[in-house]
């Protein structure tokens, strides 16, 4: 037992008594808590057992503990009445001096949104977007690769790793992104990061000064926009239509925008794909504006129809595009592994910033992922995951259309792990009631409104489907249909009165 004995206070037994009494009155030892035996506490403190016995007897005499026998005691359920102690009022604390960055976090992120992707208790059918399937991940293969790496255990595995990442993994990624994404780069241009969020944070701090303008998609992924806002950037929302961000609506090249953040292969949250003509126009704007292009390539591998789409970076001829890829949507978020393909001019400062942020990304996961990619397991897994996700998506679309028909509008390409669905007969201010009622029925729904800087004029929901089975998807949509109903004109509305 950890007990801080006062340096003064008389004989040893009395100092033990005072320390225990302070712990009881201060709440460290709750009523009913069992105290260590006299022998155990004497051994912990390095004192004689008699000193502990005398302390326990004094506490028992005053009513703080109850002795069951000579060697064991517990904190009394009813404590002696305390006399109000006259304590000096603490001085008013000085205002904490924070940087502008710190104040931004207090105002915009007072508590980290760590639970935003967590499972919510009581939800049988949780359509939370952004979660990959826990059923498809090849756990046994991954366990075997980890075990083999642990068995071989090199000095590099157990020591400090390079901030740019495990070189064999970067070499494997160079081959993979060239084959799957059309990206041509050197190993030195690839840096391994602890999730794409770390990449966005580092890029924001490297690329912008307070007051600089940064163009973002409207709507957008907050995890990409917020780091730039925290770094002091002025965010300029650019509307997204059926073909993604429209380069014609970007600020003038002479306006001095420092960067534009896009997700061209599967825009979040709309799911639309930017065509080649817009991609080339975007790159032309970046060249004329002298701006960086941050490409969030979060789910491009999960495409269920048509030919693969090459990355925006593959079209870049001016070294302006920063390509960010992640394994959080294709494998597991818990791996915390992502990568950045950098323009050559950013390689040195980015690696230095990575070193300052967390020195290096954990080596064991990097080594296992290297083997997973090099052995062909990753691409075989992707093919299976695409087949299963395509089936889940089809079930979700069919279920929505069966129950709601023309009362909804489904947006997005046949790709990714979520759908954006607009509810034609529900007003935006009534959407929280739909979500609350669904939660009571065990269905987790999520509004699209937080992804817009200006609230949309219609009610939209994001439906994630990768983490659900086909049976769960059907049942969840069927339950949702009991909360909203179709009307004669094809629109949908709430059943029953709306609670406020």
CA 216 to chain centre: 20
Tokens of 78: 């009813």
- pLDDT tens for 379-424 read 999 999 999 999 999 999 999 999 999 899 999 878 888 999 999 8
Q: Does residue 496 surpass a pLDDT of 60?
A: no
**CB-side neighbour CA atoms (13 Å) of 95:** 4
pLDDT of residue 86: 46
pLDDT of residue 365: 93
CA 391 to chain centre: 26
| 462: three-class secondary structure by DSSP | strand
| 442: three-class secondary structure by DSSP | coil
90-99, 152-161, 355-364 — most confident range: 355-364
pLDDT of residue 414: 80
40-54, 102-116, 322-336 — most confident range: 322-336
Task: Give the integer Cα–Cα distance in Å for 428 and 196.
Answer: 31
CA 441 to chain centre: 26
CB 34 within 8 A of CB 74: yes
Among 234, 299, 238, which Cα is nearest to 273's?
299
Architecture of domain 12-75: Orthogonal Bundle (1.10)
Among 193, 195, 137, 166, which Cα is nearest to 336's?
195
Phi and psi based region of residue 46 (left: phi greater than 0; alpha: psi -120 to 50; beta: remaining):
left
pLDDT of residue 27: 82
Segment holding 402, helix H or strand E? helix 377-404
* Phi, psi angle pair for 486, to nearest 5°: -80, 145
Q: Does residue 437 surpass a pLDDT of 70?
A: yes
pLDDT of residue 85: 45
For 301-322, the DSSP string reads T-B-SSS----GGGG-SSS-EE
Task: Give the integer Cα–Cα distance in Å for 438 and 441.
Answer: 5
348 confidence band (pLDDT: 50, 70, 90): very high
| Dihedral Cα 170, 171, 172, 178, nearest 10 deg | 100
What average pLDDT is seen over the chain?
A: 87
pTM score, whole prediction: 0.79
Q: What mean pLDDT do residues 38-59 have?
A: 87
Segment holding 72, helix H or strand E? none
Q: Which CATH class for the 125-132+380-494 domain?
A: alpha beta
Q: In the chain, pLDDT over 70 holds for what percent of residues?
A: 90
Q: Which CATH class for the 139-375 domain?
A: alpha beta
Domain ranges of the chain: 12-75, 125-132+380-494, 139-375
Task: Give the integer Cα–Cα distance in Å for 179 and 169.
Answer: 15
pLDDT of residue 497: 42
């Amino acid at each position: 037992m950890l007990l801080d004995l006062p340096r003064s206070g008389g004989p040893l037994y009395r100092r033990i008594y005072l320390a225990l009494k302070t712990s009881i009155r201060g709440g460290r030892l709750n009523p009913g808590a069992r105290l260590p035996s006299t022998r155990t506490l004497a051994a912990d403190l390095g004192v004689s057992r008699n000193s502990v016995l005398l302390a326990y007897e004094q506490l028992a005499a005053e009513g703080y503990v109850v002795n069951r026998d000579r060697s064991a005691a517990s904190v009394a359920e009813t404590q002696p009445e305390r006399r109000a102690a006259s304590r000096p009022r603490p001085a008013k604390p000085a205002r904490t001096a924070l940087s502008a960055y710190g104040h931004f976090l207090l105002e915009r992120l007072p508590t980290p949104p760590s639970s935003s992707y967590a499972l919510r208790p009581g939800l049988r059918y949780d359509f939370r977007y952004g979660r990959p399937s826990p059923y498809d991940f090849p756990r046994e293969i991954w366990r075997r690769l980890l075990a083999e790496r642990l068995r071989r255990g090199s000095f590099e595995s157990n020591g400090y790793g390079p901030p740019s990442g495990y070189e064999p993994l970067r070499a494997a990624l160079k081959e993979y992104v060239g084959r799957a994404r059309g990206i041509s780069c050197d190993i030195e241009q690839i840096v391994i990061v602890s999730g794409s969020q770390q990449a966005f944070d580092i890029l924001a701090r490297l690329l912008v000064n307070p007051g600089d303008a940064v163009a973002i998609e409207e709507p957008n992924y907050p995890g990409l926009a917020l780091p730039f806002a925290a770094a002091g950037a002025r965010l300029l929302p650019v509307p997204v239509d059926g073909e993604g961000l429209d380069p014609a609506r970007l600020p003038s090249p002479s306006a001095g925008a420092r960067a534009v953040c896009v997700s061209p292969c599967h825009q979040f949250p709309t799911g639309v794909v930017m065509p080649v003509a817009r991609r080339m126009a975007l790159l032309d704007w970046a060249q004329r504006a002298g701006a960086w292009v941050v490409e969030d390539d979060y789910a491009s591998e999960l495409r269920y129809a048509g030919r693969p789409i090459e990355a925006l970076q593959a079209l870049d001829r001016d070294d302006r595009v920063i390509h960010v890829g992640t394994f959080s949507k294709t494998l597991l978020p818990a791996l915390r592994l992502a990568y950045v393909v950098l323009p050559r001019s950013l390689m040195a400062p980015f690696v230095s910033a990575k070193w300052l942020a967390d020195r290096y990304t954990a080596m064991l996961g990097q080594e296992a992922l290297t083997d997973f990619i090099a052995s062909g397991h990753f691409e075989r897994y992707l093919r299976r995951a695409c087949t299963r996700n395509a089936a889940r998506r089809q079930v979700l679309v069919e279920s929505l259309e069966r129950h709601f028909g023309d009362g909804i509008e489904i947006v997005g390409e046949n790709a990714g792990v979520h759908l954006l669905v607009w509810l034609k007969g529900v007003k935006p201010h009534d959407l929280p009631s739909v979500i609350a009622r669904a939660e009571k029925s065990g269905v987790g729904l999520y509004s699209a409104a937080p992804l817009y800087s200006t609230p949309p004029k219609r009610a939209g929901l994001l439906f994630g489907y990768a983490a659900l089975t086909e049976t769960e998807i059907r049942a969840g949509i069927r339950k949702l249909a009991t909360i909203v109903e179709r009307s004669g004109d094809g629109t949908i509305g709430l059943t029953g009165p709306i609670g406020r």
